[in-house]
Amino acid sequence: MNIQRLRFRYALEADASHLSQRELVTAWHEACAMAGLTIAAQEGRRQSSLLAIAASLPRGVTSGCEVIDISLVDAGPPELALARLARQLPPGIRSLSVEEVGSNSPSLQSQVRWAEYQACVNGVEAEPLRHAISSMLGATTLPSEYRREKKVREYDLRPLVLDMRLTSHANGDTVVVMRLRAEPERTARADQVAAALGLPPTAQIRRTQLVLEEVAPILTAYRRAGQGAE
């Protein structure tokens, strides 16, 4: 049995932006089944570890740069697996490319470092927004809270914001470009940053870049050998 860990890059458009991460994983599971691709099952590993999304998106946020790793059994040429999956993915999920990565490479989530977003708004004056960006970047701390169901988590938003700038589209929309941390346990939600800036709920947010720290296989082997010697 040959297990291949394939890294798919895909776009998430408005038709699928309402999906939660769990629903998105289910959509990929179902697409694999309909495409005749078998997700690997290994003893001692959770099924979720064999189908892993790089970084979750808040609902309503679209993206042109999503990444998912799927471990498949005897999938054959990666490009063929991509073509088979593309025909089965639901509306709003559009496959872009695929590559094979080492099955013993670090987990996909552990390699994510930062993400870039564009928040587009119409009818907002640029100068007050420019001032809000300057104030946020100049702050030493930004106490914030994240509410999920009945749970409230307090945290400092400022260290999670790496950079921001103001630009515009040809159609006249004002665009805030946000570069945010996306590391495990240190992730900024784009919708919360937009709210902290005072952007209206109608702002259209799209993830445009997701940066991974890809470790060379020889370095990974060296690190593991060192850990084993301790």
Q: What is the mean pLDDT of residues 49-70?
A: 94
Tell me what the pLDDT averaged over the chain comes to: 89
CATH 3.90.1070 for domain 111-212: no
Report yes or no on whether pTM surpasses 0.85. yes
In which residue are the tokens 């639901």 written? Answer: 90
Which of left, alpha, beta for 38 (phi over 0: left; psi -120 to 50: alpha)?
Answer: beta
The predicted structure's pLDDT at residue 41: 82
Question: What is the H or E stretch that residue 83 is in?
Answer: helix 78-86
Please tell me the distance from the alpha carbon of residue 187 to that of residue 53, in angstroms, as a whole number. 14
* Segments of the chain assigned to CATH 3.30.70.580: 3-105
Say if residues 205 and 117 touch (Cβ distance below 8 Å): yes
Q: Is 104 helix (H, G, I), strand (E, B) or coil?
A: coil
Rg (Cα) of the chain, in Å, rounded? 20
CA-CA distance, 160 to 141, in Å (whole number)? 10
pLDDT digits (tens, 9 = 90+) for 183-229: 988 999 999 999 999 999 999 999 999 999 965 544 444 444 554 44
Question: What is the architecture, at CATH level 2, of domain 3-105?
Answer: 2-Layer Sandwich (3.30)
- Rounded to whole angstroms, the Cα distance separating 39 from 116 reads 31
What is the DSSP code (8-state) at residue 90?
A: P
What pLDDT score was predicted for residue 131? 96
Q: What pLDDT digit, counting tens, does each position of 173-192 carry?
A: 899 999 999 998 899 999 99
* Percentage of residues of the chain with pLDDT beyond 90: 75
20-29: burial string, b at 16+ Cβ within 10 Å, e else = eeeebbebbe
Identify the pLDDT of residue 184: 87
Q: Is the pLDDT of residue 114 over 80?
A: yes
pLDDT digits (tens, 9 = 90+) for 129-153: 999 999 999 999 999 988 777 788 8
